[in-house]
Chain A
Amino acid sequence: MNQKRCLVTCGVFLLCVFSLMVGSTAVSPGDALAALFGSEDAEARAALQTILDFRLPLLVQAFILGGLLAISGAALQAVLQNPLAEPYILGTSSGAAFGVTLAGALGLGSLFWLRSIFAFAGGIIAAILVFCSAWRRRGMLSPLALILSGVVIGAFLTAAGMGVQSLLDPFEFRSTIGLLLGSFHILNWTQITLTLVPALVAGALLRSRAVVLDIFASGYASAHSVGLNTRRELAIITALVSLITALSVSLCGIIAFVGLTAPHLVRRASGGRHARLFPAAFIVGGCFCVLADALSRLFLPWGQIPAGAFTALLGAPVFILALRSYGGSHDSL
Chain B
Amino acid sequence: MIVCEALAYTAGGFALGPVDLELRPGVSVVLGPNGAGKSSLLALIMGLFRPKSGRVTIEGHNPLLVSPALRAGLAALSPQTIPPVFGICTADFIAAGAFRKTHHIYSDPSAARAQGEIMELANLSAQGGQDFASLSGGEKRRALLARALVQDAAWTLLDEPTSSLDYAHNRALLDLLRTLKHKGRNLVLVTHDADFAMAIADRIIFLRKGKIHSEGVPAAALTEAALREVFGAAFTRTPAGRVLPDYI
**Shortest distance between the CB of A192 and any CB in chain B (Å):** 33
Task: Indicate which residue in B85, B96, B148 contacts A332 across the interface (CB closer than 8 Å).
Answer: B85
Which of chain B's residues 65-106 have a Cβ closer than 8 Å to chain A?
A: 68-69, 71-73, 75-77, 79, 81-89, 92-93, 96-100, 103, 105-106
Q: Which residue of A lies closest to B52 (CB)?
A: A138
Across the interface, B48 reaches (CB within 8 A) one of A221, A272, A333, namely A221
Give Cα distance in the complex from A244 to B5, angstroms. 46
Number of interface residues of A (CB under 8 A): 33
A225–B134 CB distance below 8 A: no
Stretch touching chain B among A103-111, A311-319, A322-330: A322-330
Are A81 and B84 in touch, CB under 8 angstroms?
A: yes
Q: Count how many chain B residues have C-beta atoms less than 8 Å from C-beta atoms of the other chain.
A: 42
Q: Among residues 207 to 224 in chain A, which have CB atoms less than 8 Å away from a CB atom of chain B? A: 211, 214-215, 217-224
Q: By the criterion CB–CB under 8 Å, are A221 and B68 in contact?
A: no
Query: Most chain-A CB neighbours within 10 Å: which of B86, B92, B93?
Result: B86
- In the complex, whether A45 has a CB less than 8 A from a CB of chain B is no
When the two chains form their complex, are residues B93 and A224 in contact, meaning their CB atoms are under 8 A apart?
Answer: no
CB-based contact A227/B68 at 8 Å: yes
A222–B50 Cα distance when bound, in Å, is 17
Q: Smallest Cβ distance from A217 to chain B, in angstroms? A: 6
Nearest A residue to B100, CB-CB: A227
Q: Distance (Å) between the CB of A2 and the closest chain B CB?
A: 22
Q: How far, in whole Å, are A307 and B3 apart by their CA atoms in the complex? A: 60
Q: Which residues of A contact B88 (CB under 8 A)?
A: 214, 217-218, 272-273
For B140, give the chain A residue with the smallest CB separation.
A331
A138 contacts B50, C-beta separation under 8 Å: yes
Is the Cβ of B86 less than 8 Å from the Cβ of A229? Answer: no
Q: In this assembly, does B131 line the interface, its C-beta being within 8 Å of a C-beta of chain A? A: yes
Among A81, A139, A225, A271, point to the contact of B46 (Cβ < 8 A): A225
The dominant DSSP class at the A interface is: loop
Q: A228 CA to B85 CA in the complex, in Å?
A: 17
B192 contacts chain A at the CB level, 8 A cutoff: no
Is B33 in the interface zone, CB < 8 Å from A? no
Min C-beta distance of B58 to chain A, whole Å? 13
- Chain A residues, CB < 8 A from B75: 225
Chain B residues, CB < 8 A from A194: none
Is B147 an interface position by the 8 A CB rule?
Answer: yes
B47 adjacent to chain A (CB < 8 Å): yes
A52-86 vs B, Cβ < 8 Å mask (1 yes, 0 no): 00000000000000000000000000000101000
Cβ of B133 under 8 Å from chain A: yes
Check B93–A218 contact: CB distance below 8 A: yes
Tell yes or no: B14 within 8 A of A by CB. Answer: no
CA distance A140 to B88 in the complex (A): 27
- Given known contacts A224-B46, A272-B87, A333-B86, is B81 in contact with A219 (CB within 8 Å)? yes
- Nearest chain B CB to A157 CB, angstrom units: 29
Q: Is the CB of A221 within 8 A of B79?
A: yes
A248-277 CB mask vs B (1 if < 8 Å, else 0) is 000000000000000000011001110000
**B215-247 near A? 1/0 per residue, CB < 8 Å:** 000000000000000000000000000000000
Give the residues in chain B near A227, CB-CB below 8 Å: 68-69, 71-73, 99-100, 151
Inter-chain contact A272/B68, CB cutoff 8 Å:
no
Write out the residue numbers on chain A whose beta carbons fall within 8 Å of the beta carbon of B84.
81, 83, 331-332
A215 touches B86 (CB 8 A): no
What B residues does A138 contact at CB under 8 A?
49-50
Check if A42 is an interface residue, CB within 8 A of chain B: no
**Cα–Cα, bound, A273→B73 (Å):** 25
Contacts of A140 in B (CB 8 A): 49-50
Q: Does B124 sit within 8 A of A, measured CB to CB?
A: no
Q: Are A226 and B97 in contact (CB under 8 A)?
A: yes
Across the interface, do A329 and B83 meet the contact criterion of CB distance under 8 Å? no
**Cβ-defined partner of B131 (8 Å) among A81, A211, A223, A329:** A329
- Residue from A83, A222, A272 in contact with B92 in the complex, judged by beta carbons closer than 8 Å: A272
Please state if B96 and A215 are interface contacts (CB–CB under 8 Å): yes
- Is the beta-carbon distance between A225 and B72 smaller than 8 angstroms? yes
B189 — which chain A residues lie within 8 A by C-beta? none
A328 CA / B130 CA spacing, docked (Å):
11
How far, in angstroms, from A221 to B97 measured CA to CA in the complex? 12
Query: Are A272 and B96 CB-contacts (below 8 A) given A221-B77, A222-B79, A227-B68?
Result: no
Q: Closest 8 A-B residue pairs measured CB to CB?
A: A227-B72, A219-B83, A227-B100, A329-B133, A332-B86, A332-B133, A138-B50, A272-B87
User: What are 23 A-B contacts with C-beta separation under 8 Å?
Assistant: A81-B83, A81-B84, A83-B86, A211-B105, A214-B88, A217-B86, A217-B88, A219-B83, A219-B85, A221-B77, A222-B79, A222-B144, A226-B72, A227-B68, A268-B87, A272-B88, A272-B131, A273-B106, A326-B86, A328-B131, A329-B131, A329-B133, A333-B86
Extra contacts besides A218-B93, A221-B77 (20): CB < 8 Å: A211-B99, A217-B85, A218-B83, A218-B85, A219-B81, A221-B43, A224-B47, A224-B77, A226-B76, A226-B100, A228-B99, A267-B86, A267-B87, A268-B87, A271-B89, A272-B131, A329-B131, A331-B82, A331-B134, A332-B131
